[in-house]
Amino acid sequence: MKIITSSKFKNPFLVVELLTKFTVISGTSSEELAKKLAKRLRANLLKSQLRVFPDGESKITIKGKLQKNRIIVVQSTYPPVDENLIQALSIISKAKEHGTEIIAVIPYMGYARQDREFLPGEVITMKVIARLFKSAGASRIIVVDIHSMMGLKYFNINSKNVTAILDLAKYFSKLKLKNPLVVSPDQGGKKRAKEFAKFLNVKYISLKKHRDRKTGKVEIKSSNFNEIIGRDLILVDDMVSTGGSIIKATEFLKKQKCKRVFVACTHALLRNDAEKKIKKAGVIKIISTNTIPGKTSLVDVSDTIAKAIV
């Protein structure tokens, strides 16, 4: 390791860390993000190959030679969740045979919504997942906008959640919006909306949402908001799965005579024709990050993840 002294580097510790040798291994669910991350860290990049047998079993092969250094495994566990999870754990296990430290970067953490026993008899799956990552050999774990911070408490290893809120806000700051207002579709996302609005130097509001735990039905309980009239709205959320909450919120906001409605989210799962249904409800555009690749993932979070690693 050598130390470079230059006026353009404000943080000498960051320089030293960047010169520490990394190897990035990409799982098949996060190839592009892993490539961008490796470039930022000036790290070696190894890809993995997945073969699924007729009986459903997965065979993972890491393409390239693993070296004795710090290894970063990048693999989101979006649908098919179990398949992507097994791949992440398998790569971590193989990396452990060679690496001095194994950093698991799970941009989208599946099962994060199962972080407590909501109804009697429910398994807290997030607790099980946390044990699996440690047993597989992960030394550290980094996630992006995990659905609930409670889930990280189950990890008995160094764990960190980073947020993509500023990355998303920077994207929206470049759009020509009319008197924008940031909206959280529920009270739980109030802090997220506040941070987003602060960066844009605009106001924010949060709606009151009720979800039936048994049926999953969502209702908006909020009263009318006069300040919505004629303004462009940005609905900010951590994830959009089937889009139920976003659709209900959009329908409610449209009744308040707003102008355009945009959606900003970190994780765009968009299951069961969610994008089509959301746009039918009145949303102009959905903007998400590359934690889950897709046509809405226009915001790159590799820089945010790189900063968390070093």
The neighbouring-strand residues paired with 22 are 70
Q: Cβ distance 301 to 167 under 8 Å? A: yes
Q: Max Cα separation, the chain?
A: 62
Q: How far is CA 65 from the centre of its chain?
A: 29
Exposed (0-12), middle (13-18) or buried (19+): which is 226, by Cβ within 10 Å? exposed
Q: Give the three-class secondary structure for 246.
A: helix
Q: Which of 59, 209, 259, 295 is catalytic?
A: 209
In this structure, the number of other CB atoms found within 10 A of the CB of residue 104 comes to 27
Q: Is 209 tagged catalytic?
A: yes
Q: How far is CA 50 from the centre of its chain?
A: 23
Q: Cβ distance 137 to 93 under 8 Å? A: yes
Q: Cβ distance 219 to 207 under 8 Å? A: no
Q: Are strands 283-289 and 181-184 parallel, antiparallel or unpaired?
A: unpaired
Residues annotated catalytic, as ranges? 209
